[in-house]
Amino acid sequence: MEDDPIQNKLSYKIKIPIIILTLITVCAMGALFIKIAYSVSSSEKQSDSYQYLLKVGDKLRNKGLHEQAIDQYIKYLEKTKINTASRAMVAHTIGQIYMELSNCQEALVWLFQAEEAEKTYHRTDELKKHIDTCLTKINSLKPNNLNAR
Protein backbone atom coordinates (compact mmCIF):
# COMPACT_ATOMS: atom_id res chain seq x y z
CA MET A 1 0.00 0.00 0.00
CA GLU A 2 2.12 2.80 -1.28
CA ASP A 3 0.95 6.39 -1.28
CA ASP A 4 -0.13 7.48 -4.66
CA PRO A 5 2.11 10.40 -5.80
CA ILE A 6 -0.85 12.14 -7.42
CA GLN A 7 -2.72 12.22 -4.10
CA ASN A 8 0.33 13.61 -2.29
CA LYS A 9 0.70 16.39 -4.87
CA LEU A 10 -2.96 17.19 -4.56
CA SER A 11 -2.76 17.30 -0.79
CA TYR A 12 0.26 19.65 -1.01
CA LYS A 13 -1.73 21.88 -3.36
CA ILE A 14 -4.36 22.13 -0.66
CA LYS A 15 -2.01 22.28 2.34
CA ILE A 16 0.17 25.15 1.12
CA PRO A 17 -2.68 27.69 0.60
CA ILE A 18 -4.21 26.65 3.93
CA ILE A 19 -0.89 27.22 5.70
CA ILE A 20 -0.41 30.58 3.95
CA LEU A 21 -3.95 31.71 4.80
CA THR A 22 -3.46 30.60 8.40
CA LEU A 23 -0.25 32.64 8.68
CA ILE A 24 -1.98 35.69 7.17
CA THR A 25 -4.87 35.32 9.63
CA VAL A 26 -2.51 34.99 12.60
CA CYS A 27 -0.58 38.10 11.48
CA ALA A 28 -3.81 40.08 11.00
CA MET A 29 -5.09 39.07 14.44
CA GLY A 30 -1.73 39.99 15.99
CA ALA A 31 -1.80 43.40 14.32
CA LEU A 32 -5.37 43.95 15.52
CA PHE A 33 -4.42 43.00 19.07
CA ILE A 34 -1.45 45.38 19.01
CA LYS A 35 -3.62 48.20 17.67
CA ILE A 36 -6.25 47.67 20.40
CA ALA A 37 -3.59 47.49 23.12
CA TYR A 38 -1.95 50.66 21.80
CA SER A 39 -5.23 52.59 21.67
CA VAL A 40 -6.05 51.65 25.28
CA SER A 41 -2.62 52.66 26.54
CA SER A 42 -2.56 55.85 24.48
CA SER A 43 -5.91 57.00 25.89
CA GLU A 44 -4.53 56.51 29.42
CA LYS A 45 -1.37 58.41 28.47
CA GLN A 46 -3.47 61.12 26.86
CA SER A 47 -5.47 61.74 30.05
CA ASP A 48 -2.17 61.78 31.97
CA SER A 49 -0.79 64.30 29.48
CA TYR A 50 -3.69 66.64 30.30
CA GLN A 51 -2.67 66.69 33.98
CA TYR A 52 -0.74 69.85 33.17
CA LEU A 53 -4.09 71.64 32.76
CA LEU A 54 -4.94 70.81 36.38
CA LYS A 55 -1.52 71.94 37.56
CA VAL A 56 -1.76 75.20 35.63
CA GLY A 57 -5.28 75.71 37.01
CA ASP A 58 -4.03 75.16 40.56
CA LYS A 59 -1.16 77.64 40.07
CA LEU A 60 -3.49 80.26 38.60
CA ARG A 61 -5.93 79.81 41.46
CA ASN A 62 -3.14 80.17 44.03
CA LYS A 63 -2.05 83.41 42.34
CA GLY A 64 -5.60 84.79 42.48
CA LEU A 65 -6.31 84.45 38.76
CA HIS A 66 -9.64 82.74 39.26
CA GLU A 67 -11.22 83.15 35.81
CA GLN A 68 -8.11 81.78 34.11
CA ALA A 69 -8.00 78.86 36.55
CA ILE A 70 -11.64 78.04 35.78
CA ASP A 71 -10.79 78.00 32.05
CA GLN A 72 -7.98 75.49 32.66
CA TYR A 73 -10.19 73.23 34.78
CA ILE A 74 -12.98 73.27 32.19
CA LYS A 75 -10.50 72.46 29.40
CA TYR A 76 -9.30 69.53 31.49
CA LEU A 77 -12.85 68.22 31.90
CA GLU A 78 -13.57 68.63 28.18
CA LYS A 79 -10.40 66.89 27.00
CA THR A 80 -10.28 63.95 29.37
CA LYS A 81 -12.50 61.01 30.02
CA ILE A 82 -11.80 60.77 33.70
CA ASN A 83 -13.64 58.70 36.26
CA THR A 84 -16.55 60.21 38.13
CA ALA A 85 -14.63 60.72 41.38
CA SER A 86 -12.03 62.92 39.67
CA ARG A 87 -14.75 64.71 37.71
CA ALA A 88 -16.59 65.45 40.97
CA MET A 89 -13.41 66.83 42.53
CA VAL A 90 -12.69 69.17 39.60
CA ALA A 91 -16.33 70.32 39.36
CA HIS A 92 -16.32 71.01 43.11
CA THR A 93 -13.14 73.06 42.73
CA ILE A 94 -14.72 75.12 39.94
CA GLY A 95 -17.78 75.66 42.14
CA GLN A 96 -15.57 76.83 45.01
CA ILE A 97 -13.83 79.34 42.76
CA TYR A 98 -17.15 80.74 41.60
CA MET A 99 -18.14 81.06 45.26
CA GLU A 100 -14.94 83.01 45.90
CA LEU A 101 -15.95 85.27 43.02
CA SER A 102 -19.39 85.75 44.66
CA ASN A 103 -21.11 84.10 41.70
CA CYS A 104 -23.30 81.58 43.49
CA GLN A 105 -25.54 80.98 40.50
CA GLU A 106 -22.65 79.67 38.42
CA ALA A 107 -21.15 77.95 41.47
CA LEU A 108 -24.34 75.94 41.96
CA VAL A 109 -24.13 74.60 38.40
CA TRP A 110 -20.73 73.09 39.17
CA LEU A 111 -21.53 72.06 42.73
CA PHE A 112 -24.61 70.18 41.55
CA GLN A 113 -22.51 68.50 38.84
CA ALA A 114 -20.07 67.39 41.52
CA GLU A 115 -22.95 66.11 43.64
CA GLU A 116 -24.40 64.10 40.75
CA ALA A 117 -21.06 62.87 39.43
CA GLU A 118 -20.14 60.80 42.44
CA LYS A 119 -22.32 59.73 45.31
CA THR A 120 -19.33 58.44 47.29
CA TYR A 121 -17.32 61.66 46.92
CA HIS A 122 -14.97 61.96 49.90
CA ARG A 123 -15.76 65.67 50.44
CA THR A 124 -19.55 65.28 50.42
CA ASP A 125 -20.09 67.17 53.69
CA GLU A 126 -18.08 70.15 52.46
CA LEU A 127 -19.89 70.01 49.12
CA LYS A 128 -23.30 70.07 50.83
CA LYS A 129 -22.21 73.07 52.94
CA HIS A 130 -21.18 74.93 49.82
CA ILE A 131 -24.49 74.14 48.13
CA ASP A 132 -26.45 75.28 51.20
CA THR A 133 -24.39 78.47 51.45
CA CYS A 134 -25.05 79.37 47.82
CA LEU A 135 -28.75 78.53 48.01
CA THR A 136 -29.08 80.67 51.14
CA LYS A 137 -27.25 83.55 49.48
CA ILE A 138 -29.41 83.34 46.34
CA ASN A 139 -32.64 83.09 48.34
CA SER A 140 -31.66 86.09 50.47
CA LEU A 141 -31.30 88.18 47.31
CA LYS A 142 -34.86 87.46 46.19
CA PRO A 143 -37.52 89.97 47.24
CA ASN A 144 -39.82 88.71 49.98
CA ASN A 145 -43.03 89.65 48.25
CA LEU A 146 -42.99 89.37 44.48
CA ASN A 147 -46.60 90.68 44.18
CA ALA A 148 -45.91 94.00 45.89
CA ARG A 149 -44.96 96.80 43.51
Together in a domain, 68 and 132: yes
CA distance 85 to 89: 6
Per-residue pLDDT at 124: 83
* pLDDT for 128 beyond 60: yes
Q: Report pLDDT digits (tens) over 133-149.
A: 999 998 887 765 445 44
Q: Check which CATH number belongs to the domain holding 121 and give it.
A: 1.25.40.10
Per-residue pLDDT at 11: 78
Together in a domain, 42 and 58: no
Q: Report pLDDT digits (tens) over 68-102.
A: 999 999 999 888 877 777 888 999 999 999 999 99
> Which domain does 10 fall in, by range?
1-48
